[in-house]
Structure 1
Amino acid sequence: MKKNKILLFLIVISFPLLAQNKYTKIADNLFERYEYVQAVKEYLLVNEKGKSDEYVYKQLGECYYNMFNTVESAKWYALAVKKDQDAETYFNYAQMLKANAKYEEANVQMKTFAIKAPTDQRAVDFNKNPDYLPALVDKDKLFDVKILDINSDKSDFGAILYNDVLYFASARNSGGKKYGWNDEAFLDIYQSDLKTDGNFSDPKPVSELNTRFHEGPVSITADGSTIYFSSESFNSNLYEKNNAKRLKFGQVHLFKAKKEDGKWTAITPMPFNDKKYSTSNPSIDKEGKILYFSSNMPGSIGGIDIWKVQVNNDGTYGIPKNLGDKINTAGDESFPFITDENVLYFASNGLTGFGGLDVFFVDLNKNDLPINVGKPVNTEKDDFALTYNSVKQLGYVSSNRSGEDHIYSSIPVCKGKIKVVVKSLKDGAVLMNSKVLILDENSNVIGTQVSNEKGEVVYDVDCEKIYIIEAFKDGYMTAKIPLAKIIGGSITVDVTIKPIDVVITEKEIILNPIYFDFNKSNITKQGAEELDKLVYVMSQNEALKVYVKSHSDSKGDDKYNLNLSDKRAKATVQYVISKGIDTSRISGKGFGETELKIDCKNKCTEEQNAINRRSEFLLVK
């Protein structure tokens, strides 16, 4: 359902034709009435009779294009372009090739299109970046996509969840007249209840809204009192006649209804509907003040554009406004959906994408350009009608990637933000130009940034993962902070780092005393902090070589103290080496109680003994 989905089509009621031509006139009349299924049969008959030419090939390409039979469409377009065609034919041919993942061949046709229509924005964008595909494929995944079990074997699309009710458009209705565009039943609005287990009840038609024509999709105000929906202009007696061909041409129009006693009543058409153009695919904002919709009304940039209109407090409407050329293109833009955060999602075949319709989004709070949502939401086929319920955190998207329009869940990939603020432990001052690393739970570095003038860096991270933050700055100690699992949203982490207060003389590097526990040689937390300062100084000057002298107190016998101090020297040397300093640059030895700092012998206080249990760092070079 190519343009049927975009709701560009005119609905046609025909009377018996009085005169027909034995070659293309029958097919042309069917094509003109958008009865593409029957038109294809007639054009194929012309082809079988050997009466084909580039016109017939193009018409077949167009029919299959509108039915989104990409393989057949590309086949006939290939024959048509053997002779010169209009620019749009080359563009459509390129779209069908892209839909078949034949990107190199599609680029050939896009180059011809760009030559024929150099000022068309689609051509301008293509010429700027003809090799866009790798970057598009490598985009971070924003949604997880899964097909729903409420789909039928017919077209189902345009799903949107209000409270616990899912509304969507479907051609599953087995009764009534079939639609000549795709030989399916006319669309109706259906609803299905969201059950506690996450599944949906059997869909039921919303009978008070459905007619013998097309209906859907819908949009409902936050308070549930008003529904906006697409239907046909025949329901409000708005259509044009072509007496010569005995046809009535209708449009797709917007209607609204009010809810009373659990039923939709008081159905009225929108005042800006007109028999000369379509208005469809509504989306009302959370305040119920702005209605977004798609239309080919005068002022449109392309075939179908996205528009908005003010909903006044007295129930009247303002003048529709086009969203402008940052969003709308010379192609088609449709299926707008406005989130509670004022982010607009919409479908486009004019912006750079994978092929067919792709879903894009743009933050209307900013002056940004639309961004392609990327895979797996978008494919080479038609992907459209993305909606999201922020309360339930459930989203839906429609796609014909399986060959038929179906509804898929589109659940946002959980993302979070970690803002790190680096400060000095000495005075709390923020530290700009600090190097901040983020590591995974296996200590693999996954990001490196430098703090700004506020001492800040911000990392976008995935949820349900453990991260570690490390902060470095010249003249400061390195700090490492493990974080709990991120569950979404933003968190702020203050990292305070200690200034390195080291005195370097001609003979030695003087640190704060490195104390050892009584009768032990292992490095204490306090000792590690001081040795990290030594590591930093040595890392900044590769010419430095250090000799470590470790001493004991005067308790115990001389031999035991000598052995204990030697263990302390070796432990100190090994710690520094473990931090990345080459073994050739540091060595050490224990001196026991032979060089007491305070010669108090057996009359030493505990404080004096602690001072004697020390290490010294002499400069060898």
Structure 2
Amino acid sequence: MKKIYSLLCLFLIVSAGYGQNKETEKADKLYDGYQYVDAIDAYLKLVEDNKADAYVYKQLADSYYHVFNVEEASNWYKRAVDNGQDAETYYRYAQVLKSQGNYDEANKQMDKFSEMMPNDIRAKMHLKNPNYIPKLADVTKSFDVGGVAINDAQQSDFGAVLSNDNILYFVSSRKTSGKEDAWTNQPYLDIYKSVRNEEGNLSEPEEVSELNTVYHDGPLTISADGKTVYFSRDGHSDGTFKKIKSNGVKVAQQGIYKATMFEGKWGDVQALPINSVEYTVSHPSISSDGKTLYFASNMPNGIGDTDIWKISIDGDTYGEPVNLGPKVNTSGKEGFPYISGDNILYFASSGHQGFGGFDVFKFDIDKNETAENLGNGVNTKNDDFAFSVNTSKQVGYFSSNRSGVDNIYMAIPICQFQVIANVKDAKTKAFISGANVTISDAQHNQLATQVTTKNGTTSFNVNCENKYTITVTKEGYETAIVLVEPSKGEDVNMDVALELVDEIITETEVKLNNIYFEFDKSNITNQGALELDRLVAIMKDHSEMKILVRSHTDAKGSDAYNLKLSESRAQSTMQYLISKGIDKDRLSAKGVGSLEPKIDCKANCSEEEYAQNRRSEFLIVKD
């Protein structure tokens, strides 16, 4: 299907005959000369005269993209891609959509880009973690979700837990040759297992016959050493049921049973003393130290229809059931508890606020704070439940009927940490409120902007594996830029000191912070726009001022390449200033490549020295 889609896009582009022609010659010449503002006027004239096609839309979008006019770029990219485009256009459209905060649509465009350019590093990064940018500031996004190959297309599969010896246990109604549950007219549930290899692939499921009966069996939980299981089982199997005399029906409750491993087989099955013919006890989960068993039950003295409870375990001695209370349980239904190795309780609930049906929530046992919804991805408008995670192997599984039948899904934990920025006056050390704090990725793409509180603080939740840049701006202060290195999960608390503006205008130049560009690109980034807006304000205050924009590169490329790149960056910078209302007669631009380094380190520069050589200067032109 993906190949058909890509070929269709190619056919649409070629068959429509989009491209340069005599009608676009004037506008194309302006565009090729980096005269983006004038090029926009020329392309808009073609649109007005009904002479525009997808090529013109693309050129308009790219022109606005180069002068950082996100809204107009987005409008024209949408028109362009509606008619089919090259891969790079989808990529640029995705970037402007992210700048608008339209993350869902941005991901769709990145999906198309990735289909067309699967070997591109940007595509690989997107496919590895497609929801990374949209959920940076969303603490509920802590897992990436994917399907598994062992699901039965017609029958229910759910309740998966991964043991420390890489065996995935789950329950399924796939054995259709046995008895059917008279209440549902569906096959009874049985326990199955599948072996997970180092690549994460699962073997063909096989029945755990020694744990199964002709009635319902499962789900289960397994001890850390893999030698003990606790599992749910229908009371019919051992005759613990009640007879309804009026119609002769035998009503059995779910109970929890224990089994131990002996010579590779499960045996010595024992019923727990908390089982009853009056209420259900089910969905067991054992703590990593084996001392606490969590479960779901509708036993008396609960809060809702079914609650999460726990009991202590000491060998074959079991404590009294303890209700986990209103921070976990509601007047609705709670079930499928799972206690992780780091003492996080995951459970399903229809009572807590969610997306619909059952949602999965987490509750930190140690912190004893309010339960949190796991958010989009794990949860949908359908039933999502039976969440488990093996913290040592960094993989989880949960169940959902989002496809119309209960299936098992994989959940990969996303390592996140919090970046806390404390903004202060460099001289007085007083906290600064109302400062704009922007976080950007390693390519200087803006991810989110927040304003500091009265205590001068703001924070972002970010991915552990990536580098970020914090940019802080406040009127009357110099812009501050701080690098955030990858973390193993520990929060980063940083102080950002702002210097008051001092001699930003000298006899020869206007001093700004470096104007950053994406690698091998010349379009203005969000960080660059913040700096250039300061220059726009200065030039509007000094109406006679004329500026020469001189752009420099580092020495990584050839002299010819660097000269061309610096010229395009100088022109893009000038075009941005024009787009903000600065008369083009007051501006000139020149690229000097790597010929005038700030630090003459040649090919032995450190990354910091390379960065200092990549700069733009704003020289005051004297008449």
Sort the TM-score into its range (normalised by shorter chain).
Answer: 0.5 to 0.7
Q: Give the Cα–Cα distance (whole angstroms) in 2 for the partners of residues 166 and 245 of structure 1.
A: 41
Q: Give the Cα–Cα distance (whole angstroms) in 2 for the partners of residues 364 and 303 of structure 1.
A: 22
Q: Which amino acid aligns with 2:401?
A: N
Q: Give the Cα–Cα distance (whole angstroms) in 2 for the partners of residues 401 and 154 of structure 1.
A: 14
Say which SS state the counterpart of residue 154 (structure 1) adopts: coil
Alpha-carbon shift at residue 514 of structure 1 (Å): 6.7
Contact 1:208-1:264 within 8 A present in 2 as well? yes
Contact 1:419-1:493 within 8 A present in 2 as well? yes
Q: Which residue of 2 aligns with 1:10?
A: none
Contact 1:471-1:495 within 8 A present in 2 as well? no
Say which SS state the counterpart of residue 387 (structure 2) adopts: strand
Say which SS state the counterpart of residue 217 (structure 2) adopts: coil
Say which SS state the counterpart of residue 150 (structure 1) adopts: coil
1:255 equivalenced with 2:260 (yes/no):
no
Contact 1:479-1:495 within 8 A present in 2 as well? no
Q: Which amino acid aligns with 1:405?
A: D
Unaligned runs of 5+ in 1: 1-137, 504-508, 516-521, 551-570, 589-614
Contact 1:510-1:616 within 8 A present in 2 as well? no
Q: Which residue of 1 aligns with 2:25?
A: none
Q: Which residue of 2 aligns with 1:477?
A: 478
1:145 equivalenced with 2:145 (yes/no):
yes
Q: Which amino acid aligns with 1:420?
A: A
Q: Which amino acid aligns with 1:218?
A: L
Alpha-carbon shift at residue 395 of structure 1 (Å): 1.6
Alpha-carbon shift at residue 165 of structure 1 (Å): 0.7
Contact 1:310-1:317 within 8 A present in 2 as well? yes
1:168 equivalenced with 2:167 (yes/no):
no
Say which SS state the counterpart of residue 489 (structure 1) adopts: coil
Say which SS state the counterpart of residue 409 (structure 1) adopts: strand
After superposition, the Cα gap between the structure-2 partners of 1:537 and 1:212, relative to the gap in structure 1 and judged at 3 Å, is closer
Q: Give the Cα–Cα distance (whole angstroms) in 2 for the partners of residues 524 and 374 of structure 1.
A: 42
Contact 2:244-2:250 within 8 A present in 1 as well? yes
Q: Give the Cα–Cα distance (whole angstroms) in 1 for the partners of residues 401 and 532 of structure 2.
A: 64
Q: Which residue of 2 aligns with 1:76?
A: none
Deviations, residues 172-228 of structure 1 (Å, cap 9, x unaligned): 335442222333332221111002332111222223322232211111122323211
Alpha-carbon shift at residue 277 of structure 1 (Å): 1.0
Q: Give the Cα–Cα distance (whole angstroms) in 2 for the partners of residues 336 and 140 of structure 1.
A: 18
Residue pairs, 1:409-448, within 5 angstroms = 409-412=410-413, 415-422=416-423, 434-440=435-441, 443=444, 445-448=446-449
Contact 2:464-2:489 within 8 A present in 1 as well? no
Contact 2:539-2:545 within 8 A present in 1 as well? no
Work out the number of aligned pairs and report it.
416
Contact 1:150-1:200 within 8 A present in 2 as well? yes
Q: Give the Cα–Cα distance (whole angstroms) in 1 for the partners of residues 262 and 431 of structure 2.
A: 60
Alpha-carbon shift at residue 256 of structure 1 (Å): 1.5
Q: Give the Cα–Cα distance (whole angstroms) in 1 for the partners of residues 505 and 401 of structure 2.
A: 73
Q: Which residue of 2 aligns with 1:407?
A: 408
Matched-pair identity in %: 40
Q: Which amino acid aligns with 1:266?
A: D
Residue pairs, 1:548-587, within 5 angstroms = none
Contact 1:359-1:384 within 8 A present in 2 as well? yes
Say which SS state the counterpart of residue 317 (structure 2) adopts: coil
Q: Which residue of 1 aligns with 2:384?
A: 383
The answer to which of 420-429 and 390-399 deviates more is 420-429
Q: Which residue of 2 aligns with 1:177?
A: 179
Alpha-carbon shift at residue 299 of structure 1 (Å): 1.3
Alpha-carbon shift at residue 263 of structure 1 (Å): 3.1
After superposition, the Cα gap between the structure-2 partners of 1:490 and 1:540, relative to the gap in structure 1 and judged at 3 Å, is farther
Q: Give the Cα–Cα distance (whole angstroms) in 1 for the partners of residues 357 and 580 of structure 2.
A: 59
Q: Which residue of 2 aligns with 1:228?
A: 230
Q: Which residue of 2 aligns with 1:49?
A: none
Q: Give the Cα–Cα distance (whole angstroms) in 1 for the partners of residues 170 and 547 of structure 2.
A: 80
Q: Which residue of 2 aligns with 1:301?
A: 303
Deviations, residues 580-603 of structure 1 (Å, cap 9, x unaligned): 99768x989xxxxxxxxxxxxxxx
Contact 1:538-1:544 within 8 A present in 2 as well? no
Deviations, residues 290-346 of structure 1 (Å, cap 9, x unaligned): 2211111111233222212223x4542222122234433333221112223333322
After superposition, the Cα gap between the structure-2 partners of 1:493 and 1:221, relative to the gap in structure 1 and judged at 3 Å, is same
Q: Which residue of 1 aligns with 2:329?
A: 328
Aligned CA RMSD, in angstroms, stands at: 4.6
Contact 1:502-1:533 within 8 A present in 2 as well? no
Q: Which residue of 2 aligns with 1:202?
A: 204
After superposition, the Cα gap between the structure-2 partners of 1:374 and 1:502, relative to the gap in structure 1 and judged at 3 Å, is closer
Say which SS state the counterpart of residue 273 (structure 1) adopts: coil
Q: Give the Cα–Cα distance (whole angstroms) in 2 for the partners of residues 214 and 400 of structure 1.
A: 19
Alpha-carbon shift at residue 386 of structure 1 (Å): 1.4
1:246 equivalenced with 2:248 (yes/no):
yes
Q: Give the Cα–Cα distance (whole angstroms) in 1 for the partners of residues 535 and 577 of structure 2.
A: 15
After superposition, the Cα gap between the structure-2 partners of 1:492 and 1:541, relative to the gap in structure 1 and judged at 3 Å, is farther
Q: Which residue of 1 aligns with 2:347?
A: 346
Contact 2:479-2:513 within 8 A present in 1 as well? no
Alpha-carbon shift at residue 398 of structure 1 (Å): 1.5
Higher alpha-carbon Rg: 1
Q: Give the Cα–Cα distance (whole angstroms) in 2 for the partners of residues 543 and 294 of structure 1.
A: 69
Q: Which residue of 1 aligns with 2:117?
A: none
Contact 2:335-2:349 within 8 A present in 1 as well? yes
Contact 2:214-2:237 within 8 A present in 1 as well? no
The TM-score, its normalising length taken from structure 2, stands at 0.56
Contact 1:154-1:184 within 8 A present in 2 as well? no
Say which SS state the counterpart of residue 233 (structure 2) adopts: strand
Alpha-carbon shift at residue 492 of structure 1 (Å): 3.0
The answer to which of 168-177 and 387-396 deviates more is 168-177
Residue pairs, 1:595-614, within 5 angstroms = none
Q: Give the Cα–Cα distance (whole angstroms) in 2 for the partners of residues 266 and 406 of structure 1.
A: 31
Q: Which amino acid aligns with 1:148?
A: V
1:217 equivalenced with 2:219 (yes/no):
yes
Q: 1:274 aligns with which of 276, 287, 291?
A: 276
Contact 2:540-2:582 within 8 A present in 1 as well? no
After superposition, the Cα gap between the structure-2 partners of 1:220 and 1:436, relative to the gap in structure 1 and judged at 3 Å, is same
Contact 1:398-1:405 within 8 A present in 2 as well? yes
Q: Which residue of 1 aligns with 2:188?
A: 186
After superposition, the Cα gap between the structure-2 partners of 1:258 and 1:578, relative to the gap in structure 1 and judged at 3 Å, is same
After superposition, the Cα gap between the structure-2 partners of 1:499 and 1:185, relative to the gap in structure 1 and judged at 3 Å, is closer
Residue pairs, 1:109-148, within 5 angstroms = 142-148=142-148
Q: Give the Cα–Cα distance (whole angstroms) in 2 for the partners of residues 534 and 394 of structure 1.
A: 45
Q: Which residue of 2 aligns with 1:395?
A: 396
Contact 1:355-1:382 within 8 A present in 2 as well? yes
Q: Give the Cα–Cα distance (whole angstroms) in 2 for the partners of residues 193 and 149 of structure 1.
A: 12
Q: Give the Cα–Cα distance (whole angstroms) in 2 for the partners of residues 293 and 247 of structure 1.
A: 27
Q: Which residue of 2 aligns with 1:449?
A: 450
Q: Give the Cα–Cα distance (whole angstroms) in 1 for the partners of residues 361 and 531 of structure 2.
A: 52
Contact 2:140-2:373 within 8 A present in 1 as well? no
Q: Which residue of 1 aligns with 2:285?
A: 283
1:461 equivalenced with 2:471 (yes/no):
no
Alpha-carbon shift at residue 457 of structure 1 (Å): 2.7
Deviations, residues 407-452 of structure 1 (Å, cap 9, x unaligned): 2223345644333344666698876654321235665544223445
After superposition, the Cα gap between the structure-2 partners of 1:304 and 1:525, relative to the gap in structure 1 and judged at 3 Å, is closer
Alpha-carbon shift at residue 272 of structure 1 (Å): 1.4
Q: Give the Cα–Cα distance (whole angstroms) in 1 for the partners of residues 195 and 478 of structure 2.
A: 58
Alpha-carbon shift at residue 455 of structure 1 (Å): 5.3
1:357 equivalenced with 2:378 (yes/no):
no
Unaligned runs of 5+ in 2: 1-137, 517-529, 549-569, 588-617
Deviations, residues 506-545 of structure 1 (Å, cap 9, x unaligned): xxx986x879xxxxxx98999x9xxx99997995997667
Deviations, residues 21-55 of structure 1 (Å, cap 9, x unaligned): xxxxxxxxxxxxxxxxxxxxxxxxxxxxxxxxxxx
Contact 2:425-2:432 within 8 A present in 1 as well? yes
Say which SS state the counterpart of residue 216 (structure 1) adopts: strand
Alpha-carbon shift at residue 354 of structure 1 (Å): 4.3
Contact 1:477-1:533 within 8 A present in 2 as well? no
